[in-house]
Amino acid sequence: ADDLCGLVIHLNTKGIKHAIVGDCVEVCFAAGENWHQGVLTTLQRGWYGLENLSLIPGNMGAAPIQNIGAYGVELADLFVSLSAIEIATGKHCEFDKAACEFAYRDSLFKNSARDKYIIVDITLRLSTSPAVNTSYPALAAAAAEAGLDGDLTPQVVSQLVCQIRSQKLPDPAVTPNAGSFFKNPVVAGSTAAALLEQYPQMPSYPQPDQRKKIPAAWLIDQCGFKGVRRGSVGVHKNQALVLVNYLSDGGGTGEQLLKLSEELRDAVWDRFAIRLEIEPRVYGPSGKG
Ligand code: EPU
C-alpha cells in the first residue's frame, strides 16, 4: 500500500533438477526461476501437468504462498515439497504438501507462517505421459471454438490458456496489477439457491462440501464497475476482478487502490449480501499490513 520501510530481497536463484520416479518425474525448481518459463521448459522436456497454469506472472518460490491456480488446476495438485529458510534462525526446513496447509488461494505461508520463511525451492510431481484437463468451462469453450476438442495435447492446452489470459487479463509488465484482487466467495448451498432464483444467469461452481463458489468478477460486473476508473486506478475493462494502476495516466497510490476495493466490497455487500475477501497480501501502514 505504501513504500516499504525495510530491506527487500528479490530472490533470483536459478536451477531446475529432476528425478524420474516410476511414470512420473519430480522436478525441483529454484525459487527465482520464472514460473511461465518453467512451465514451457517442462512441456519441452515432455513433462506434463503445468499446462493449465501457463502465463501466470511471478516466480516459482512465490507459487506456494497462495497456492496459485487457474483453468481447473492448482499448484497443490502437483506439489510434493518445498525447502525454506526460517528467517529468525537461518535454519533450513522442509515442508511436505500436508505441512503447507494448502486451500483455495491459501497456505500456511499466508497464515501462521506469514513472513517467517524464505522459500528457496519447490518440487512438483509431473507426468511423463500426456493427458489434458479441459474441465474448466472457458477452456473447453476455447478448444471447441478452435475446433480442437478431440485433438488436444498439453502444448495446445498451454497455447489456449495463453490466448485466453492475453485476451482477458492485463499484462502486469504494461499495466501493473496483482491478478484477481478478491477471492471468489464460497457460499452456503441455500444462499446460492436463493441468489440463483433471483439471478438465473449467475455462474456458480459446486464445491465438495455442498457449498457453491460464485465468481466475484460476476458480482462486481453486475454492480456496474467493469472499466470504471477512479483517478489513475480502476477496474479492468475485460475482467472485473482485476484492479489496475494506469501508469500512463500518472499512476495511482496504494491508498487509492484500497479505497476503490472498499467501494467494490460495499457495492457487492449492498446488492448481494456477500462479503468479498482480498486475495493478495497487503503491506505498508495504509494497508494495515
Ligand atoms: N465474469 C463476469 N464478468 C467479468 C469477468 C468474468 O461476469 O468481468 C464471469 C465469467 O463470464 C465467468 C465467471 O465470471 O462465468 C468466471 O470468470 P473467469 O473464468 O474469468 O474466472 P474468475 O473466477 O474471474 C478465476 C481465478 C483466476 C484464474 C481464472 C481461471 C480467483 C479469485 N481467480 O478467475 O486467478 O485465472 O479463474 O481459472 O479464483 C488470480 O487468482 O489472481 C487469478 C487471475
Q: What is the pLDDT of residues 166-181, one digit of tens each?
A: 999 999 999 999 999 9
Report pLDDT for 248: 84
Is pTM beyond 0.85 here? yes
Give the separation between CA 10 and CA 138, rounded to whole angstroms.
34
Q: Given this model, what pLDDT does residue 105 score?
A: 95
Residue whose C-alpha is closest to residue 132's, from 20, 50, 40, 35? 50
R_g of the chain computed on alpha carbons: 20
Summarize the confidence of residues 220-241 as an average pLDDT.
97
CA dist., res. 18 & res. 174, Å (int): 34
Q: How confident is the model at residue 69 (pLDDT cuts 50, 70, 90)?
A: very high
- The pLDDT value given to residue 288: 61
Residue nearest to atom 16 of ligand 1 (CA): 215
d(CA 184, ligand 1 centre) in Å: 8
pLDDT value at 1 more than 70:
yes
Q: Are 262 and 254 in contact (CB under 8 A)?
A: no
φ/ψ of 288, rounded to 5, equals 55, 30
Residue-wise pLDDT tens digits, 197-224? 999 999 999 999 999 999 999 999 999 9
Please report how many Cα atoms fall inside a 13 Å half-sphere around the Cα of residue 262, on the Cβ side.
7
| Residue range 183-209: mean pLDDT, rounded | 96
Share of the chain above pLDDT 70, in %: 99
Q: Is 263 a catalytic residue?
A: no
| DSSP 8-state symbol, 209 | T
C-alpha cell at 254: 496504494
pLDDT of the residue at 249: 81
Nearest residue by C-alpha to atom 6 in ligand 1: 217
Catalytic residue among 105, 165, 211, 265: 105
CA of 180 to the centre of ligand 1 (A): 8
Angle in degrees, CA 287, 166, 174, rounded to 5 = 50
Residue 85 predicted with pLDDT over 70: yes
Q: Is the pLDDT of residue 101 over 70?
A: yes
Pairing state of beta strands 117-127 and 79-86?
A: antiparallel
Instruction: Using most ligand atoms within 8 A of CB, pick from 218, 244, 271 the residue to mutate for ligand 1.
Output: 218
H-state helical runs in 100-222: 137-145, 154-168, 189-198, 216-222
Q: Report the separation in Å between the CA atom of 24 and the middle of ligand 1, taken as the mean of its atom positions.
A: 31
Q: Determine which helix (DSSP H) or strand (DSSP E) holds 255, and give its type and residue range.
A: helix 254-272
Q: pLDDT tens digits for 104-160?
A: 999 999 999 999 999 999 999 999 999 899 999 999 999 999 998 777 999 999 999
Q: Among 81, 180, 204, 261, which one carries the catalytic annotation?
A: 180
Tell whether ligand 1 has an atom less than 6 A from the beta carbon of residue 268.
Answer: no
Q: What is the mean pLDDT of the chain?
A: 95
**Is the confidence at residue 289, as pLDDT, over 60?**
no
* Separation CA 180–CA 220 (nearest Å): 12
Mean pLDDT value across residues 236-256: 93
> Does the Cβ of 170 fall within 6 Å of ligand 1?
no
Q: Is 180 a catalytic residue?
A: yes
Q: How far is Cα 221 from Cα 215, in angstroms, rounded to an integer?
A: 10
Q: What is the pLDDT of residue 4?
A: 84
Angstrom CA distances, 38 to 30, 33, 165, stand at 10, 7, 17
- For the CA atoms of 107, 265, 240, 138, the dihedral, rounded to the nearest 10 degrees, stands at 50
